[in-house]
Amino acid sequence: MAIPLVELVDASRVYDGGRVAALRGVSLRVEAGASIAVVGPSGSGKSTLLHLLSGMDEPSGGAVRFEGRAPGGPEAWCRLRARRIGFVFQGYHLLPALTAWQNVQLPMLGVVAGARARAERARELLERVGLGVRLRHLPSQLSGGERQRVAIARSLANGPDLILADEPTGNLDSVASAEILDLLTEVRGERGAALVLVTHDPAVAARCERVVRLRDGRVVDEARA
Amino acid sequence: MTAWTLPVADMLRRPLRTLLTAVGIAAAVSSYLTLVSLSRGLELGWIASLEGRGVHVLALSRDTVEVMASSLDAALGREIEAVPGVVQAAGEMANLVRFEVPGTETLHVTVRGWPADSFKWRSLALAEGRPPAAGEASGIVLGATLARLLRIGIGNRFVFRGATFVVTGVAAAGGVWNDRAVFMPLAAMQALFDRPGQVTEFSLQVERPGDAAFVAELTQDLERRFPRLAFLRAGEVAGQNDVVRTFRAFSGAVSWVAMAMALVIVLNTLLMSVTERTQEIGVLAAVGWQPSRVLATVMLQGLLLSAIGAAAGVALGAFSLRVVLRHPTLGGLVEPGLHAGVVVETLAAALLVGAAGGLYPAWRAARARPLASLRHG
């Protein structure tokens, strides 16, 4: 069996000294180029799962492996997030003092050498997500859908192998949601990156190859869409 | 986008806070620059006054705090001159007096009395006129600034402490002390201040003044022979003087308090900024910024704030130094002007303050965990 890009092995995450369990013994393999939707009711552990896959949180038990190995400490996960993992948040999390163009360049500092190269790549990415004319706009001057496009462009900044999206359409209307979903699907296809997407929306989940259903911190169902 | 973009963007986002922080730093830097310049200018004024008179080594009473208050037997000069390596030991009486200039201001003027055969008369650069001739007890030379302020010149009468003198020359020796000095025959000054047969110091010319080893060996020899006297090279005199040391210690202490205040200002501003931006710092960690890069970004902001404050502070300091030197006492003792070394020292101190003030906020930002920070606020 091929080594997955990233996997959770019997991973659990508890809080408050064990009184609250967000994840209970979850195993999940994410192969290179795969697209997986993680669905489930609120509090089922979907976001926690995504945080473990990105190394932004650590499991209380079990393991998270990237290409078959545990990356090690927070700094190793930082390097992975900089070069191999792109993250799209529900709340966009763009830096308000920076323009769209600068926000997209943010992950490239220390990774892509040369200010001109970073600027050019960010321009290409923003053009790709349809914001070529909004380069110098601040997040406050953009609509919700446009902000999420900037966030997607940012997640692609360093050509990641894995894109993690935490309810990327959660704050958007249906038209903007459809556009963002199309965009994510397209850029994933173009770049051959794996996509793990957390969503409440069955229509969104249906766009992925696999759907993993969580309830009370456990995988209760896994199906091919 | 470069490493500067984020710190600059944050500073522009809060312009009033940035401005107030820079003003606070500028005030501290200005105080530092003014005080250190005054202290350094006092030393330089003294050094310039000695160098302008061709003095290689100065002999002073070892246990006297203030040189002008010391009292030495003028006859000691002959004994010092007899030591091999000494060319001449010229006795000098010096005093600092308050002098009323009608219609303008009260000046503090240095009065110096030299024997007619002292090398100092020959070394003293004159803009015009001549030194008093031997036996010409009423002849005096005025410093150029003093002559200008008094509006008198060659041949004019000059009344001082009830005695009448005639101006024979105007000195252009350079240095603020010389420019406001009165130079007169030693005997006349001893009579004027009721100190017959006394001098306050001896100025020595030595055989090889440029040979540091020779001068050091000679001064050691002189100190063995004259244990009650201290022999100091011209450049060391100001630094060894207790009055200058006290002033330097005072100005040093006050200026560092000012810098400590600047440090607290930077610390406070950056701490506020980092706390406000907790979520943004979480985003930086989430997109893969290493803690070291987060730390460097916050530190850079501290350095930028300090650099802006320092630049404004140097300009403000230069202005306040000019204002302070209008004071008659300081104006007559402190060599005016900003000295490059002091400016460099001030800028370095300001940047050090910026780095030190940014250290704790930067450390806090760097150790933030991405998830906890993203959930903040």
Residue B299 Cα distances to A202, B7, B22, B206, B273, angstroms: 47, 9, 15, 54, 12
Contacts with B372 from chain A: Cβ below 8 Å: none
d(CA B311, CA B22): 9
Contacts with B280 from chain A: Cβ below 8 Å: 95-96
What is the rounded radius of gyration, in angstroms, for the C-alpha atoms of chain A?
A: 17
- Going by C-alpha positions, the residue among B245, B211, B217, B244 that lies closest to residue B231 is B217
Report how many Cβ contacts below 8 Å link chain A to chain B: 86
- Going by C-alpha positions, the residue among B278, B248, B250 that lies closest to residue B361 is B278
Residue of A nearest to B366 (CA): A75
Provide CB contacts within 8 A for A103, sequence distance 6+: A94, A95, A139, A150, A154
d(CA B96, CA B189): 12
For A146-160, what is the mean pLDDT?
93
Indicate the residue of B13, B288, B370 with minimum beta-carbon distance to A107: B288
Contact A98 B5 (CB under 8 A): yes
Provide CB contacts within 8 A for B147, sequence distance 6+: B153, B167, B170
- Write out pLDDT tens, residues B60-93: 888 777 777 788 999 999 999 999 999 999 999 9
Residue B121 Cα distances to B112, B169, B185, B308, angstroms: 11, 11, 10, 50
* Across A197-201, A209-213, B238-242, least confident range: B238-242
d(CA A168, CA A145): 10
- CB-based contact (8 Å) between B371 and chain A? yes
Show the tokens assigned to B19.
Answer: 């401005």
Contact B291 A78 (CB under 8 A): yes
Contacts with A107 from chain B: Cβ below 8 Å: 287-289
Show the tokens assigned to B333.
Answer: 């003792």
Q: B278: burial class by Cβ within 10 Å (0-12, 13-18, 19+)?
A: middle
* Angle between helices B15-51 and B5-13 in degrees, nearest 10: 110
Contacts with B13 from chain A: Cβ below 8 Å: 96-97
- Write out pLDDT tens, residues B266-325: 888 888 888 888 888 899 999 999 999 999 999 999 999 999 999 999 999 999 988 888
Contact between B159 and B153 under an 8 Å Cβ cutoff? The reply is: no
Residue A218 sits at φ, ψ, to 5 deg, of -125, 155
Higher pLDDT, B244 or B345: B345
Indicate the residue of B1, B12, B371 with minimum beta-carbon distance to A119: B1
According to DSSP, the residues that pair with B198 across neighbouring strands are: B73
Indicate the residue of B279, B286, B293 with minimum beta-carbon distance to A109: B293
What is the percent of chain B with per-residue pLDDT over 90, rounded to a whole number? 41
Residue B306 Cα distances to B12, B20, B105, angstroms: 15, 12, 39
- Going by C-alpha positions, the residue among B339, B361, B246 that lies closest to residue B33 is B339
How many angstroms away from the CA of B368 is the closest CA of chain A?
11
Contact B284 A56 (CB under 8 A): no
CB atoms inside a 10 Å sphere around CB B159: 8
d(CA B28, CA B316): 10
Which residues 244-303 on chain B approach chain A with CB closer than 8 angstroms?
A: 279-280, 282-291, 293
Q: B334: burial class by Cβ within 10 Å (0-12, 13-18, 19+)?
A: buried
Where do the DSSP E strands lie in B62-189?
72-73, 86-100, 106-114, 126-129, 139-143, 157-160, 163-171, 181-185
Higher pLDDT, A14 or A170: A14
What's the pLDDT band for A169 if we cut at 50, 70, 90? confident
Q: Which helix (H) or strand (E) holds B132?
A: none
**Interface predicted TM-score (ipTM):** 0.93
Residue of A nearest to B289 (CA): A78
Query: Coil, helix or strand for B346?
Result: helix
pLDDT value of residue B286: 92
Contact A93 B374 (CB under 8 A): yes
- Write out pLDDT tens, residues A23-39: 999 999 999 999 999 99
d(CA A212, CA A195): 13
d(CA B106, CA B335): 18
Angle at the Cα of A127 from the Cα atoms of B285 and A186, rounded to 5 degrees: 80
Half-sphere exposure of A34 (CA within 13 A, CB side): 19
